[in-house]
Structure 1
């Protein structure tokens, strides 16, 4: 799979199951050779920029981050039960795979609020996936500005 194809598939991925990229096979959710139609928020110019940066640094580091998620959880075990104690507004897309990965009922329910006691709001952005700042920049900016104006 080319880097261009990878970038397009990664940025446009929609699905609530965890993203899976197998070595040598690419995305299980989008077979090799299947063209990607870019959404309005992502241009060929954007893709070209991301590809040019990945050609300089390679994509291995980014992919290995996702491959190492089970290890990351082990490393972070010392923080199990720790509370986030700063004012917080949590924004996530309703099509972001992280919503299921971190348990939608937890994020939208009272348990998240107990772990983040100063959580002011959880915003579930309709029609958005993982890259909400690109997919819905005006809405995201509005939420951030409204949140920061309180301080």
Structure 2
């Protein structure tokens, strides 16, 4: 778990199939937002059920595309707010920033009310800056 939580950042992550996560270095110092109790909690949950569920989403990528095909091109018409960290690996995937900031996202989500790019935050944004995330969600929801 320590390895998994320490490898996220803006660079694409490649884990050679031959070595898997075992080949990654365990960090000497964990991020300040991650405490040992968190690691223990996640470890206990994955020990109970395994990590297969999370991996199966990616293993079934082709099937996922097929199942979502009927909704391809449809707009999401509910009010929305999008929050992402500027160091999130997904935000740095090719063409993602352009899609978010140059009109593609707004075209597909016409009631997109706000896009927030939080500085210095990677994939685990709700754990790194929970108070700020809660404030963003609260400010969004109280409009309704």
- Name the TM-score, length of structure 1 as normaliser: 0.83
2:143 maps to 150
More displaced, 119-128 or 100-109? 100-109
1:47 maps to 39
Contact 1:84 1:115 in 2 (8 A): yes
Q: Partners in 1 of 2:3 and 2:100 — Cα distance?
A: 26
1:86 aligned counterpart, secondary structure: coil
Q: Which residue, out of 4, 9, 18, partners 1:14?
A: 9
Structure 1 segments unaligned to the other structure (5+ residues): 1-6
Contact 1:16 1:98 in 2 (8 A): no
1:120 aligned counterpart, secondary structure: strand
2:90 aligned counterpart, secondary structure: helix
- Name the TM-score, length of structure 2 as normaliser: 0.87
Structure 2 segments unaligned to the other structure (5+ residues): none
Q: Partners in 1 of 2:101 and 2:46 — Cα distance?
A: 35
